[in-house]
Amino acid sequence: MSKKNKQSKSAKLEKAKASKTKPSKETEPRKPASATEETLISSKVVYQGPLFRVLHDKLLEPGGKPSERDVIRHNGSVVILAVDKSKSKKDPWIVMEHQYRHAAKQYLWELPAGKLDAGEEPLVGAKRELEEETGYRAKKWKPLVEYYGSPGFLGESMKVFLAEGLVAGDAHPEDDEDIEFRLVKLSDIVKMIEKGAIKDGKTLCSVLLYARRIGKKHKK
């Protein structure tokens, strides 16, 4: 083989090798998003209501995977575990509500709760909701837990507050609220949960966490 042919063949091999190691701009993969943060490409409001809005989002999930999601955005809600320890510290009484829920098509036993106004401080909202729905005010407040009820499509954060030192008053619920409330022993609520009589997520989460803490405290 001539020297000229050898050089030509060598050049072709180098060119083929380069084409394998350097993909063209059309086939080059998109730069991945952060391993811990998403990259929002677009967000469109497809429904706007008085309580929430529905968005259709296009994004890169953490790690770079493309995705499209329909998400309900909400200002957030507060839940109040209002406790009366005046008769027993080991088995206190809890303020419970009983009301009809159209989405569940049944009456549910629940803790007092409500939505936050835009920009409203959660503690301010919790105090307002407790007094509006039950008439009770509390002398002592502290955060208990925060959670997301259905994070697959619902962006509503629910902040639970423990309210102690209750002072009774007159309830003044909103026009569309028809709420019956009463004080129920913590032990009785736990029994209701075990029997499946309580199906409300915020009540299950909050009561069982509180019962666990009370149990640990009195074992010491």
> Across residues 83-94, what is the average pLDDT?
94
How buried is residue 16: exposed, middle or buried, by Cβ count under 10 Å (0-12/13-18/19+)?
A: exposed
Lowest mean pLDDT among 53-57, 61-65, 144-148, 173-177: 173-177
Would the pLDDT of 196 be above 50?
yes
Q: So which residues are the catalytic ones?
A: 177
Between 13 and 56, the higher pLDDT residue: 56
The gap from C-alpha 183 to its chain's centroid, in whole angstroms, comes to: 27
Q: Which domains does the chain have, with CATH numbers?
A: 28-73 (no CATH), 77-219 (3.90.79.10)
> Across residues 164-184, what is the average pLDDT?
87
pLDDT tens-digit map of 17-38: 444 444 333 334 455 556 789 9
